Amino acid sequence: MRRIEHFIGGKATAASSRRTSPVFDPALGVQQAEVLLAEEPDVDAAVDCAADAFARWSESSLSTRTKVLFSFRELVNAHLDELATAVSAEHGKVLSDARGEVQRGLEVLEFACGIPQLLKGQYSDQVSTGVDVFSYRQPLGVVACITPFNFPVMVPMWMFPIAIACGNTVVLKPSERDPSPSMLLAELWQKAGLPEGVFNVLHGDKVAVEALCRHEKIAAVSFVGSTPIARAVYGWASAAGKRVQALGGAKNHAIVLPDAATDYAAMHVSAAAFGSAGERCMAISAAIAVGPVADAFVDAVAEQARAIRVGPGRDQASEMGPVITMEARDRIVGYIERAKPAGAKVALDGRGLVVPGHEDGFFVGPTILDQVAPDMEVYRDEIFGPVLSVLRADSIDEAIALINANPYGNGTAIFTSSGEAARRFHREVRVGMIGVNVPIPVPMAYYSFGGWKDSLFGERRVHGEEGVGFYTRQKVVTERWPQPIDGGASYHFPTAE
C-alpha cells in the first residue's frame, strides 16, 4: 500500500506519526493509499522548521522572492496535467474540472508574482516641518493553511503563494481524503528554488488542526472547510491570539425570474448544481423559481441533468464523477430518501445509479427535488452532493427574503433580462459573491474570495488585496532628522506645525 508522508524541511518524513487514514479511489471504491496522521510532536517539528526558515525567508529581497515565484509558476504550468491527474485520482472529479481548479490556483500564483507592486507602502512628505511619514508591510511569521478535500490544489493556492510572497513560511495541512497533490506542489516549490522549510506539508486530522491553531509559534491560520469546523478553528485560533480567517460551508441560491431565458438558466443551473458532483462551495444547491416559470424551469433542468454522463473522472467522456467517500454517498442518499416523505417531489432521482465496471464506486446521479419548503432538512442543511432543491416564490421580494433568511452567505446568482431586477438583487442580498446570469461567480485572483454570515468567520477574505493584508502587518514610521537647533522638547500631544 502506497504511504503518503509529511514534507518537512525539504524532505518527505514519517516523523513520529503512526496513525494512518485510508485514501480511496472514489471511482472504484477501493483504497489506493494510506496517509499518515500527525501527532503533536510532528506539529512541533513542522512548525519549528518553518519558524527557523522564517528568520531567513522574511529577510530575502523582493526580487529573490519574485524569481522563485515565477519559476514555481512555470513549473505548475508545465505540470498542470500531472496535478490535475493527481486531483482526479483521489478526489474523483473529472479531468477537465481538475484542470480548471489548477488553472484557478495558477491565477492566484500569477497575482502573487506581482508582490513588489502589492507590497508598496505609502509616503507623506513634510507632514510637519522637517517630518515625513511612511508605512510599509512586514510578514507575520509561520502561517498554518488548513484546507478541505474538494479543491486540493486551488484552495491551498488561494493561500500559500501570497503568504510566501509576503515573506511568511507555511505549514499546509491538506485534507486527509486527497493528500497527494500537496506533495507534488511541495516538490515543485523545491525545484523552483524555494529554501527548505518555507513550505511544509503536514497531514492529519483534528489532532493536527487543533495543535496548529493553539501553537505558540503559529502567527496566523487560514482555514477553508465546513461551517462547524470553521467556527471551531476560529474559536481555537483567535483564543490563542492568532490572526484567523475561516471560510465555512454554503447553501447557494439561484433566482430564476420569469423574464429569464429559461433554457439558458436551466443549462447553467444544471452545470452549477451537478458539476464536480455538487462538491463545490459555490455549487448552486437551491434554485428559486419565481412565478409562472417554475414548471418549465424544472422540466428544462431535468432534461439537462438527465443527459449528464456520469463516470470515472479519468475517463475523458465523463462529465460528472463520484463523490468523495462511501459515507458521503450514504449521507446524500439518506437526504434524498427522506425528502419525499417530508413533502418534496423527486423530479429526478440519482439513487441506484450504476456505472458499468465501477459497481463499487461512490456514485450518486444528479437529483432534483421540486416543491421544497424552507423548513425541510434538504433545504436547511448543506448536502454537498449532486442534489438540487427547487423552491417556488411569488415575487423577487420573497426570493430575496429567503436568501437573506438563510444562515449561509457564500454565493448566489440571478437569472433575468431585467437590469433593474439584477441591480436590486445584488444590492439587497446579504451574500459575499454574486452572479448576474453567471451561476458560479468565483472572483478572479485580483479580487478577494469570501462569503458573509456563517460562510466566513474572521475579518479578511482570501487572495486579492485582502490576502496581502491578511499575511502582513503594517507599520507607520514618523521620521525627523533634527537640525542642530530644534526648538527644544514640547510636551503637548504631537500636532503638525
By CB under 6 A, residue 173 contacts ligand NAD: yes
User: Which region among 45-53, 94-102, 107-115, 246-254 touches ligand NAD (by CB under 6 A)?
Assistant: 246-254
Note if 113 is an active site residue. no
Q: How many CA atoms lie within 13 A of 12 on its CB side?
A: 12
Cα 221 to Cα 233: distance, rounded to the nearest angstrom: 8
Q: How many CA atoms lie within 13 A of 253 on its CB side?
A: 34
Site residues (CB under 6 A) for ligand NAD, limited to 338-397: 382, 384
Q: Which of 113, 166, 213, 281 is catalytic?
A: 281
Q: Return the C-alpha cell found at 263.
A: 433554457
Q: Which is nearer to ligand NAD, 175 or 416 (CB)?
A: 175
Hey, what amino acid is at 447?
A: Y
The CB-nearest residue to ligand NAD is 225
Q: How far is the CB of 416 from ligand NAD (least distance, A)?
A: 25
Site residues (CB under 6 A) for ligand NAD, limited to 281-320: 281
Cα 470 to Cα 460: distance, rounded to the nearest angstrom: 6
Site residues (CB under 6 A) for ligand NAD, limited to 211-240: 224-226, 229
Site residues (CB under 6 A) for ligand NAD, limited to 402-441: 410
Residue 258: CB atoms within 10 Å = 17
Taking CB under 6 A as the criterion, the residue among 23, 84, 144, 250 binding ligand NAD is: 250
- Size of interface with ligand NAD, in residues (CB under 6 A): 27
Q: How far is the CB of 34 from ligand NAD (least distance, A)?
A: 15
Q: How far is the CB of 411 from ligand NAD (least distance, A)?
A: 9
**Contact by Cβ (8 Å): 367, 324:** no
Q: Return the C-alpha cell found at 491.
A: 510636551
Cα 164 to Cα 401: distance, rounded to the nearest angstrom: 41
Q: Which is nearer to ligand NAD, 293 or 332 (CB)?
A: 332
For the chain, report the end-to-end CA distance as a whole number of angstroms.
74
User: Which region among 51-59, 101-109, 241-249, 422-430 touches ligand NAD (by CB under 6 A)?
Assistant: 241-249
Q: How far is the CB of 231 from ligand NAD (least distance, A)?
A: 10
Secondary structure (H, E, C), 265-317: HHHHHHHHHHHHHHCCCCCEEEEEEEHHHHHHHHHHHHHHHHCCCECCCCCCC
Residue with cell 496566523: 220
Site residues (CB under 6 A) for ligand NAD, limited to 264-283: 281
By CB under 6 A, residue 200 contacts ligand NAD: no
DSSP category for residue 403: H
Nearest residue to 362 (alpha-carbon basis) of 251, 271, 277, 273: 277
Q: How far is the CB of 396 from ligand NAD (least distance, A)?
A: 26
Binding site residues, ligand NAD, CB under 6 A: 146-151, 155, 173, 175-176, 205-206, 209, 224-226, 229, 247-250, 281, 382, 384, 410, 451, 455
Catalytic residues: 281
